[in-house]
């Protein structure tokens, strides 16, 4: 059992802080959870709840965080200028993989005096969004007693959807109880089915404008003409690059929390701004996001992706680059991974990036 607090940066919301439990939380934890109205809703909590169990459980949560197996955190509020324990929220990695990848199980509880203030939704939602952005999971699962409509409502507000029924043993109730099952992925919990398009979704013009038309040429379109579209949807132009190091590995960047499709891995790049060529956009993006300098001569056009999202159609030219100046680093705090081409398929990626993987693998 580890004796030092785990290295975990607290998660914050408008009203709450989620942080690893501390030995000093044990008394408050015992006071709040040793309440039948709270304990009867929790599968793994006995009732009465022994005071010594609070100390043992807090120590076990440190070891689980360090091992990357589970993240049980204290939910801390502030009242009268002082911090106080409100409850706990946790995620535990499932041993078996789900249909679309690894899953995690969500659990939480809030002291009775704090009910009715949206604390559970705020805390559990924050932890779920963090997990989808930082852990290699595809979905989050949870359960709620059939006779616990409050918890069912919390799970629905977070974005989890009904996934059937089951039976679970509850220590507090001394036996199996019927439960409703819930599950949600990135799209349901974060609401991000696709990256948002640029304003009006109009494709940016290229920097090198076409020469002026001849006198007898057709007049240019009116300023308010509709932007180009594919399949009736506006077109969004994004440029991406496969950076290849001396060992033949390809760089992937993980979209950080707070961005659409957070937690998915992608080829570095970004939207082409008005007045930019795709090459100029990549040079700018690579400097801003990875702190490296790249010349246009080192960007070799390779292929492109064409993908229809709900509200727009994405065109994404992909370039290859083997030479740059500077040391690659995640300026925005995003995780980076140098990946062997044959292992690219093991990383969860946005739909537009997936078709590029097989072409890169065959070429490299």
Taking 70 as the threshold, does the pLDDT of residue 104 lie above it? yes
**Residue with the two structure tokens 């009867």:** 40
Is residue 175 located within the same domain as residue 234?
Answer: no
8 Å CB contact between 272 and 278: yes
Is residue 325 located within the same domain as residue 296?
Answer: yes
Q: How many residues does the chain have?
A: 364
Q: Can you spell out the DSSP letters for 205-259?
A: PPSSPPPPPPTTSPPPPPTTPPPPEETTEEEEEEEEEEEB-TTS-EEEEEPPTTS
Q: Is the residue at 43 inside a domain?
A: yes
Is residue 22 located within the same domain as residue 162?
Answer: yes
Q: Dmax of the chain from CA atoms?
A: 91
**Total domain count for the chain?**
2
Q: What is the dihedral of CA 272, 274, 277, 280, to 10 degrees?
A: -70
Q: Is the residue at 146 inside a domain?
A: yes
Taking 50 as the threshold, does the pLDDT of residue 345 lie above it? yes
Structural domain of 112: 11-190
Q: Is the residue at 213 inside a domain?
A: no
Is residue 185 located within the same domain as residue 242?
Answer: no
161-210 per-position pLDDT tens digit = 999 999 999 999 999 999 999 999 988 897 654 444 433 334 334 334 44
* Local structure of 273: helix, strand or coil: coil
Alpha helix locations (H) across 74-143? 119-134
Strands 313-321 and 233-243: parallel
Averaged pLDDT for residues 268-296? 95
User: And the tokens for 242?
Assistant: 């496969």
Q: Is the residue at 248 inside a domain?
A: yes
Is residue 61 located within the same domain as residue 203?
Answer: no
**Residue with the two structure tokens 């801390």:** 76
Which residue(s) pair with 83 in the sheet?
78
Taking 90 as the threshold, does the pLDDT of residue 242 lie above it? yes
8 Å CB contact between 84 and 118: no
8 Å CB contact between 298 and 323: yes
pLDDT bracket for residue 231 (50, 70, 90): low
Is residue 242 located within the same domain as residue 150?
Answer: no
206-226 per-position pLDDT tens digit = 334 444 444 454 455 444 444
Task: Judge if pTM exceeds 0.75.
Answer: yes
Is residue 272 located within the same domain as residue 289?
Answer: yes
> How many Cβ atoms are within 10 Å of 141's Cβ, its own excluded?
20
pLDDT at 227: 52
Is residue 184 located within the same domain as residue 292?
Answer: no
245-260 per-position pLDDT tens digit = 999 999 999 988 888 8
Which residue(s) pair with 183 in the sheet?
141, 161
> Which of 229-233, 260-264, 336-340 tops mean pLDDT?
336-340
User: And the tokens for 361?
Assistant: 């693998």
Is residue 184 located within the same domain as residue 58?
Answer: yes
DSSP 44: T
pLDDT at 204: 39
Tell me, what CATH number does 61's domain have?
A: 3.40.630.30
pLDDT at 278: 95
Is residue 93 located within the same domain as residue 35?
Answer: yes
Tell me, what CATH number does 239's domain have?
A: 3.90.79.10
Nearest Cα neighbor of 140 from 73, 190, 212, 214 is 190
CA 131/CA 138 separation, integer angstroms: 10
Which helix (DSSP H) or strand (DSSP E) does residue 87 occupy?
strand 82-98
Q: Can you spell out the DSSP letters for 130-168?
A: HHHHHSS-SEEEEEEETT-HHHHHHHHHHT-EEEEEEEE
CA 172/CA 358 separation, integer angstroms: 52
CA distances (Å), origin 164, targets 111, 129, 142, 146, 305: 28, 23, 11, 11, 37
């Amino acid at each position: 059992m580890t004796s030092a607090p785990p290295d975990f940066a607290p998660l914050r919301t408008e009203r709450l802080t989620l942080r690893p439990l501390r030995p000093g939380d044990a008394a408050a934890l015992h006071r709040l959870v040793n309440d039948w109205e709270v304990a009867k809703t929790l599968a793994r909590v006995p009732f009465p709840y022994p005071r010594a169990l609070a100390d043992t459980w807090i120590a076990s949560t440190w070891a689980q965080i360090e091992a990357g197996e589970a993240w049980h955190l204290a939910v801390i509020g502030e009242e009268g200028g002082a911090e106080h324990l409100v409850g706990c929220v946790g995620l535990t990695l499932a041993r078996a993989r789900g249909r679309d990848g690894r899953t995690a199980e969500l659990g939480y509880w809030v002291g009775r005096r704090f009910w009715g203030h949206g604390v559970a939704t705020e805390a559990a939602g924050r932890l779920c969004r963090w997990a989808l952005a930082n852990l290699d999971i595809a979905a989050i699962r949870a359960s709620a007693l059939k006779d616990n409509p409050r918890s069912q409502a919390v799970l629905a507000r977070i974005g989890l959807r009904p996934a059937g029924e089951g039976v679970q043993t509850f220590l507090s109730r001394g036996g199996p109880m019927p439960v409703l099952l819930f599950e949600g992925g990135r799209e349901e919990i974060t609401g991000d089915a696709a990256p948002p398009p640029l304003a009006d979704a109009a494709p940016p013009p290229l920097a090198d404008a076409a020469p002026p038309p001849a006198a007898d040429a057709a007049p240019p379109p009116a300023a308010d003409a509709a932007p180009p579209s594919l399949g009736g949807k506006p077109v969004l132009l994004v440029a991406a690059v496969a950076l290849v190091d001396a060992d033949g590995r390809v760089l992937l960047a993980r979209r950080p929390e707070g961005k659409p499709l957070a937690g998915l891995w992608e080829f570095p790049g970004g939207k082409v701004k008005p007045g930019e060529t795709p090459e100029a956009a990549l040079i700018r993006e690579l400097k801003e996001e990875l702190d490296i300098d790249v010349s246009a001569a080192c960007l070799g056009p390779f292929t492109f992706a064409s993908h229809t999202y709900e509200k727009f159609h994405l065109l994404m030219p992909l370039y290859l680059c083997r030479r740059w100046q500077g040391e690659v680093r995640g300026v925005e705090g995003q995780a980076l991974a140098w990946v062997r081409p044959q292992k690219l398929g093991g990383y969860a990626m946005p739909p537009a990036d997936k078709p590029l993987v097989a072409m890169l693998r065959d070429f490299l």
